[in-house]
Each structure stands twice: as structure tokens, then as C-alpha cells.
Amino acid sequence: MNLPPFKLERYFAKYEFNTEFLLCSSDCEAMSIADLLALEEGAAEKFQNTWLGYTESQGSPTLRKEICNLYTNMQPEHILVHTGAGEAIYLFMQAMFKKGDHIIVHTPSYQSLSEVAKGIGCDISPWLAREENNWALDLDEVGHLMRSNTKAIVINTPHNPTGYLMSRADFDALNKFAQENKLLLFADEVYRESEYDPETRLPAAYDYGEHAVSLGVTSKTYGLAGLRIGWIATKNKKVYDSMAALKDYTTICNSAPSEFLAEVAMRNRQKLIDRNLGIIKHNLTIIDDLFSRHADLFSWVRPKAGSMGFPRLLKGSVDEFCDDLVRKAGVLLLPGTMYDDSRNHFRLGLGRKNLPNAVERLEDYLPKINNSGG
């Protein structure tokens, strides 16, 4: 298989650990092991006694039991734990797709959601989210994109990078469409539980039936990317067994300390959600103010969930803007070209505590682009 460089990851590799302000992170503020363990009495001592042998390949039974609480009527044997969501995306596509399959992919997308399928030799049809529709997907379009060899639809809601959250009616209709047309629905739900209005939270695709695969992770809503614990939830035995068989060739099983810590995190996830949504909502007020003061420079569709938005620069080139900003002001934004977006958008992260200082620095820099025109 021929995989091109993962543009976004290469961009981060260049700047992530040497730039003062990361204003485009996709995850929420992390915490230390000590702070996580402090959420639960006795957890610190138990962690010290974690056994460092191989663990169960599907994920530890107690972790899977905690993950079950994210879904309705979930059974632990429907969860397969992975090393991050990234491994699960890779294994799902390797296990279920073959050359010549046609796949419909929510676009723009986190690169691996289309690239792995492309690398296998699948034909990809982008299902385009448009700023002028507030980044909503148009359900009518998916019918037009369908072909006789369509195998799956890949969606991501809440969405990276736009913060779009599909409506309940559309999600119901999409699941029905996939079921009626015998398609797999791979639902990247790594930002689930970060809806700004909890009433708008969608059921997990898992809950709709065997056609669906739900993807989750500790990295995003819960702010624990360093654990590298992700999972899929599916009632589809063929998908489950095929992915499990491939996992024997990648990571075999998960890190025992990470599984323990992920279990504590999942048991206490409401505390993590409250903390992280508190940070996001505070940051959103600052960003709303920033964009209202600079409406001549930026267009802004306010996200409905998650820790990102995808504003558009109205003057000059976004690549040059991001490059100049990081070099002169030490503030990292992610140009939309990393998502193959050609309309001057950039990714803005909302989940970090230092956003107010980063925005101050950004605003000090802005007169320079106004003066130079670009």
C-alpha cells in the first residue's frame, strides 16, 4: 500500500514542540497522571500495582465495561480497544475495504479517514461540507454519490475541523440510508460528549444496528491524548473479528498502564467533560469577540461541538499568513490546505487554557497583515 505523508501530522511535527502558542490543537487541555488519579480514591495505589504483562487483546474487560456506558445497551464484547483512534481507522479500512470499492467520505476530513482507503485502491467520493451551509452535510447529495460498488460511508460528527454537529433527523436518515443500501457506516465520534448543548448529542451510530461502527478515543473530549487509548464499538461480528485478527499484526494488545488510567478516566468522564467544556466555552467568548472586532479579516461559523473551528481568512493567502504568524509571533494556526481545502480556511483550536494569551499575541500581529495587505 502506498500512503502519502500525513500532511497535518508533518505540519505539527515541525512546530508542535517548539512553538509558544498552539492555537490550532484538536484536543482539549491534558492533565497529569497525578491529577487524573486524584479523581478517584485509592486509584493512585492501584495504579502502582498495575501488572506489566501482556493484556487482553480486545482491551481489558473492566475498561470495556466502563466504555459501555457511552452507548445504549452495549455489550463489552462489541468493543475493541486500540492504540488511539488512528490505529482503529487504519485497521477498519484494511480489514473491510479492497481495491475498487467505492467509499463516500465526509470532506474536509482528518486525513486518514480518506487516505487509508485511497491507499488500498478504493475510489473516494468526497461528501462536501460547505461553509455557506454552516458546514452541514446535504443528505440529498449522498444519494447522488451512491454507486453500485459503494461499500461504506465515512462521517465524522462532531466534526474536525469545522465543529459541525449533524442534526438528529439527518443522523436518523443517514443510518436508514446506510441500512437500506447495505452500506457500512463508519462514524468517527471522537468528539462525542463535547456538544455545547447536551440536548443536541446524537446517539452513537453503534446504537442503530449492525451496519454501523462507532469510533471513540480518550484523546479529544476527555483531553487524554497521551494515553493512546481508542476503540471501536460495533454489533457487526464480521467487522469486529476482521479488525481483531489484524490487530494481532500491529499492537497485539494495549498498554497496561494506559488501560488502567483510561478506565479511571471513563469512570470519571463527566468531571473531565465539565472541565474541558468550561475551557472551550470561555475560549469561545474570546474568539467570538476577536472575530467581531475583525469582521473585515475573517469569516466565522461558530462550532456546535468540539474543540475546533474553521474560520476563513478574507485577505491574502492563508498559507503565508500562518507561516508568517508562527515565525513572527510564535502562534500556530493550521492552514486549511493541510485538509486540501483551497478556500483560505484555517483550523482554530478552542480547547487549551492558554488561548486568551495566544489570542492577545495574534491580535498584536494582525495590524502587520493589514499594513502589508497579505
Ligand X SMILES: Cc1ncc(COP(=O)(O)O)c(C=O)c1O
Using CB under 6 A as the criterion, which residues of the chain lie in contact with ligand X when the complex forms? 26, 84-86, 110, 156, 160, 188, 190, 217, 219, 225, 230
CA distances from 154 to 3, 26, 114, 257 (A): 18, 19, 8, 31
In sequence order, which residues have a C-beta less than 8 Å from that of residue 250 and are 6 or more positions away? 83, 87, 90, 91
Question: Are the beta carbons of 301 and 129 closer than 8 angstroms?
Answer: no
Cell 500495582 belongs to: 49
Question: Are the beta carbons of 108 and 164 closer than 8 angstroms?
Answer: no
DSSP string for residues in 290-314: HHHHTTTTEE----SBSSEE--EE-
Q: Considering beta carbons, is residue 30 or 37 the nearer one to ligand X?
A: 30
Q: How far apart are the C-alpha atoms of 70 and 142, rounded to whole Å?
A: 28
- Tell me how far, at minimum, the Cβ of 259 lies from ligand X, in Å: 15
- Tell me how far, at minimum, the Cβ of 149 lies from ligand X, in Å: 25
Q: Which residues pair with 346 in a beta bridge?
A: 335
Q: How far apart are the C-alpha atoms of 105 and 117, rounded to whole Å?
A: 10
- Tell me how far, at minimum, the Cβ of 156 lies from ligand X, in Å: 5
DSSP string for residues in 90-110: HHHHHHH--TT-EEEEEES--
Q: Considering beta carbons, is residue 215 or 297 the nearer one to ligand X?
A: 215
Which three cell numbers, joined as nine digits, stand for 360?
A: 492577545
Q: Considering beta carbons, is residue 163 or 361 the nearer one to ligand X?
A: 163
Residue type, 165: L
- Tell me how far, at minimum, the Cβ of 173 lies from ligand X, in Å: 22
- Dihedral of CA 316/319/323/326: which sign? positive
**Closest Cα to residue 44, out of 261, 226, 224?**
261
Q: Considering beta carbons, is residue 225 or 301 the nearer one to ligand X?
A: 225
- Tell me how far, at minimum, the Cβ of 86 lies from ligand X, in Å: 4
Q: Which residue has the closest beta carbon to ligand X?
A: 84
- Tell me how far, at minimum, the Cβ of 83 lies from ligand X, in Å: 8
Question: Are the beta carbons of 1 and 117 closer than 8 angstroms?
Answer: no
Q: Considering beta carbons, is residue 160 or 236 the nearer one to ligand X?
A: 160
- Tell me how far, at minimum, the Cβ of 228 lies from ligand X, in Å: 7
In sequence order, which residues have a C-beta less than 8 Å from that of residue 199 and are 6 or more positions away? none
- Tell me how far, at minimum, the Cβ of 217 lies from ligand X, in Å: 4
Q: How far apart are the C-alpha atoms of 116 and 124, rounded to whole Å?
A: 11
- Tell me how far, at minimum, the Cβ of 128 lies from ligand X, in Å: 17
Cis peptide before 61 (omega within 30 of 0): no
In sequence order, which residues have a C-beta less than 8 Å from that of residue 327 and are 6 or more positions away? none
